[in-house]
């Protein structure tokens, strides 16, 4: 016995579920691997993802565990579990097509005594599969096909029998190719490992294996290199090709403060990037995980179509039997048996879902399964978090108020920017950007001291300058602010964040900052209404006055302010209880309960890890317009699935009726059935 897997390593473990990463011998048969794993004690389900070299196993904890499974995997012999691969005719791919095609063309030239044996030999794999299906599953489409060939052969109509075998081989090969193509489209979203990575430490650059990179490191990428982490640009400037992640072919300029995604490529320039997400937490790795999930996920539409297809098989057999009883014409019965609903109904729906998920993945929208597409199309109420969702989540300077007449508002901004220009924090970035816009004066200062969660301090002209929170300036530094309390309270009531500047032991002034409304928010909400969304709601922990102002500006139907995280989830539950079908859009840790509680949770690109994990859809591009794109794509996909369903039922019903009334020969019925099925699958596969 030769073990198929060389090594296995658990990479994610939950109660009753484990994902292994494996190394295998060349030519590993993933289908055989899954069959073998299903037979291990305690295993309930398994699926393999060969491109990612991962194996997900669902198991009964009372019977086995991850450690026992790992040991069993290393002992697996796949020889006994290889899938059936008949040696001729119906299931033999291109070889089967070639053999059956040659028989169809050459059968009339064979001596009469050899025609029957040649036809039966070509049909043997089909008959064997039909017998196996009959034993294990009952009457299936394969049983009907075998009956049709048997009837034609029994009537010594070898042309019809051989033509049927050929059409079945050709049709099934094309159908399976189309189904595989839908999987391949999704797998194109997997990103290659970036290998060695350049990191900067203590002013020196050195190479590390990508697996050794950790959060907080400074990554250096130059022309031609793939970005290995998600993070923010600390310095440098470059033209970056983001087509792999966003579908946008035009390179974009990236500079200090910009967000970078793994899997993108630096076309020209050089960047220093602060690593925020590494390894399996990067956007590229999440795509791989979502692809793995989506290849096995089944929607209600897919399950219903499969159940309907199975129920219709006996009906087709009954129609064939009834046709023969009424007419005594075996040729009509054989023609009826050529057409059934099974292939198109079972394949068209998953193919359409996977093609849609590929299109959306190219646009930076990741659906975690076909069932999510279905639920989003059905959603009639969209609930939005405010900060980071309807707003940019990035602060901008709105006011600069100097309390010392010797300094102007611009001086205040310039002072703060001079000491904060090397500080990586949203407030610091906003102040530096404000100073850059008016090309402000730079104040020379001593070494800057960073006080975590408080602010920064330095010395200018021999006097200590502190920039930061009220707590830092007032309580830690002892700088009084009572004389300016009315002005400060007014700014607070306007929902603004205040940055205090102390200089020489006195309050020099404050800089007020405010989150900006996304410029595309209003247009996105209007488009959602055009797409049939009934209600638009905003939930926020922000001040009621600010929330009311924004709700009026965006034309929302409803808003709730000053909420705690659990209150957001409670409101979502109340809306669901009254019959609303809810899609919740959020980005923060406090949104996770609401994201999990909605029919569909959509996490923004800048969202917290837990928000992305609990969501059904993750956006890889920081644009709220992608929410409307996702809704439009879901509706279009369900529309295509519905039209394909109607085409399948209509076309096959017409073929069955024509065959029953003697209008189609068995060969014509087979051509019409297989041709219409392939056309429907090609329509489902369309990615445009």
Same domain, 215 and 267: yes
Residue 176: inside a domain, yes or no? no
Same domain, 403 and 506: yes
Residue 175: inside a domain, yes or no? no
Same domain, 433 and 506: yes
Query: Of the residues 81, 116, 144, which one is the last residue of a structural domain?
Result: 81
Same domain, 25 and 77: yes
Beta pairing class for 617-619 and 600-603: parallel
Q: Which domain holds residue 475?
A: 392-516
Residue 140: inside a domain, yes or no? no
Same domain, 440 and 542: no
Cβ-Cβ contacts under 8 Å for 588 (sequence gap 6 or more):
385, 387, 388, 607, 608, 611
Domain of 487, CATH number, reads 3.40.1110.10
Same domain, 387 and 444: no
The token duo for 436 is 């850059």
The label of the residue with tokens 């794999």 reads: 125
Total domain count for the chain?
A: 4
Residue 456: inside a domain, yes or no? yes
> Does the annotation mark 385 as catalytic?
yes
Question: What are 54-113's pLDDT values in tens digits?
Answer: 888 888 887 888 888 888 888 876 654 444 333 333 344 667 777 777 877 777 778 888
User: For the whole prediction, is pTM greater than 0.75?
Assistant: no
Distance CA(41)–CA(30), nearest Å, equals: 19
Per-residue pLDDT at 298: 56
The label of the residue with tokens 């060695």 reads: 196
Question: What are 136-146's pLDDT values in tens digits?
Answer: 767 766 776 77
Give the residues across from 268 on adjacent strands.
239
Residues of the chain where predicted confidence (pLDDT) is lower than 50: 1, 80-92, 191-193, 247, 249
The token duo for 205 is 């650059």
Q: DSSP of 475-533, one letter per residue?
A: IIT----GGGHHHHHHHHHTT-EEEEEEETTEEEEEEEEEEEEPTTHHHHHHHHHHTT-
Same domain, 383 and 526: yes
Query: Of the residues 499, 516, 533, which one is the last residue of a structural domain?
Result: 516
Q: DSSP of 69-89, one letter per residue?
A: HHHHHHT--GGGGPPP--SSG
Domain of 228, CATH number, reads 2.70.150.10
Residue 134: inside a domain, yes or no? no
Q: How many helices (H) and strands (E) does the chain have?
A: 23, 24
Same domain, 379 and 400: no
The H or E element containing residue 538 is strand 535-539
Same domain, 371 and 506: no
Residue 94: inside a domain, yes or no? no
Q: Which of 340, 371, 385, 542 is catalytic?
A: 385
Residue 648: inside a domain, yes or no? no
Residue 681: inside a domain, yes or no? no
Query: Of the residues 496, 516, 536, which one is the last residue of a structural domain?
Result: 516
Same domain, 47 and 32: yes
Same domain, 452 and 559: no
Same domain, 540 and 500: no
Per-residue pLDDT at 575: 93
Tell me the backbone φ, ψ of residue 7, rounded to 5 degrees.
Answer: -160, 150
Per-residue pLDDT at 244: 56
């Amino acid at each position: 016995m030769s073990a198929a897997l060389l090594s296995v390593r658990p990479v994610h473990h939950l109660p009753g579920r484990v994902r292994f990463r494996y190394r295998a011998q060349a030519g590993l048969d993933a289908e055989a691997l899954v069959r073998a794993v299903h037979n291990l004690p305690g295993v309930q389900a398994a699926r393999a993802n060969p491109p990612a070299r991962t194996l997900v196993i669902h198991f009964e904890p009372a019977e086995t565990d991850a450690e026992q499974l790992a040991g069993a995997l290393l002992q697996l012999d796949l020889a006994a579990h290889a899938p059936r691969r008949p040696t001729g005719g119906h299931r033999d791919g291109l070889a089967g097509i070639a053999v059956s095609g040659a028989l169809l063309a050459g059968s009339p030239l064979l001596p009469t005594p050899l025609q029957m044996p040649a036809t039966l030999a070509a049909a043997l794999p089909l008959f064997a599969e039909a017998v196996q299906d009959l034993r294990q599953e009952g009457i299936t489409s394969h049983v009907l096909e075998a009956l049709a060939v048997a009837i034609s052969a029994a009537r010594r109509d070898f042309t019809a029998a051989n033509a049927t075998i050929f059409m079945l081989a050709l049709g099934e090969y094309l159908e399976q190719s189309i189904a595989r193509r839908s999987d391949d489209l999704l797998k194109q979203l997997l990103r290659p490992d970036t290998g060695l990575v350049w990191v900067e430490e203590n002013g020196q650059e050195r190479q590390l294996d990508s697996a050794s990179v950790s959060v907080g490191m400074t990554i250096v990428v130059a022309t031609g290199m793939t970005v290995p982490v998600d993070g923010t640009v600390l310095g440098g400037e470059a033209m970056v090709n983001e087509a792999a992640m966003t579908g946008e072919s035009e390179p974009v300029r990236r500079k200090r403060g910009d967000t970078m995604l793994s899997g993108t490529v630096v076309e020209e320039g050089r960047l220093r990037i602060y690593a925020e997400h590494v390894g399996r937490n990067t956007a590229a790795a999440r795509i791989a995980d979502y692809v793995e999930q989506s290849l096995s996920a089944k929607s209600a539409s897919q399950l219903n179509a499969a159940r309907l297809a199975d129920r219709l098989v006996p009906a087709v057999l009954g129609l064939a039997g009834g046709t023969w009883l009424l007419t005594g014409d075996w040729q009509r019965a054989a023609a009826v048996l050529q057409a059934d609903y099974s292939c198109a109904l079972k394949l068209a729906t998953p193919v359409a879902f996977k093609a849609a998920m590929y299109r959306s993945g190219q646009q930076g929208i990741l659906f975690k399964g076909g069932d999510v597409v279905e639920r989003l199309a059905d959603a009639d109420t969209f609930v939005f978090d405010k900060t980071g969702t309807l707003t940019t989540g990035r602060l901008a300077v709105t006011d600069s108020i100097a309390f010392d007449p010797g300094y102007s508002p611009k001086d205040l901004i310039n002072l703060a920017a001079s000491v904060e220009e090397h500080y990586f924090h949203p407030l610091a970035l906003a102040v530096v950007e404000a100073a850059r816009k008016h090309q402000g004066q730079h104040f020379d200062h001593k070494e800057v001291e960073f006080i975590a969660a408080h602010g920064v301090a330095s010395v200018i002209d021999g006097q200590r300058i502190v920039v930061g929170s009220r707590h830092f300036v007032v309580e830690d530094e002892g700088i009084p602010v009572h004389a300016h309390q009315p002005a400060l309270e007014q700014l607070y009531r306007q929902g603004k964040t205040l940055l205090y500047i102390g200089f020489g032991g006195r309050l020099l002034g404050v800089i007020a900052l405010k989150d900006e409304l996304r410029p595309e928010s209003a247009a996105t909400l209007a488009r959602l209404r055009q797409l049939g969304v009934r209600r638009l709601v905003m939930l926020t922990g922000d001040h009621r006055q600010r929330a009311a102002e924004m709700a009026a500006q965006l034309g929302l139907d409803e808003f709730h302010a000053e909420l705690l995280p659990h209150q957001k989830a409670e409101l979502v539950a109340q809306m669901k209880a009254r019959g609303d079908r809810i899609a919740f859009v959020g980005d923060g840790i406090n949104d996770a309960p609401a994201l999990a509680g909605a029919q569909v949770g959509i996490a923004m690109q800048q969202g917290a890890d837990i928000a992305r994990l609990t969501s059904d859809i993750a956006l890889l591009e920081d644009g709220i317009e992608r929410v409307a794109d996702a809704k439009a794509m879901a509706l279009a996909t369900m529309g295509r699935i519905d039209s394909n369903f109607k085409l399948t039922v209509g076309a096959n019903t017409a073929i069955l009726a024509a065959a029953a009334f003697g209008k189609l020969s068995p060969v014509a019925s087979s051509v019409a059935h297989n041709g219409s099925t392939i056309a429907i699958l090609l329509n489902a596969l369309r990615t445009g």
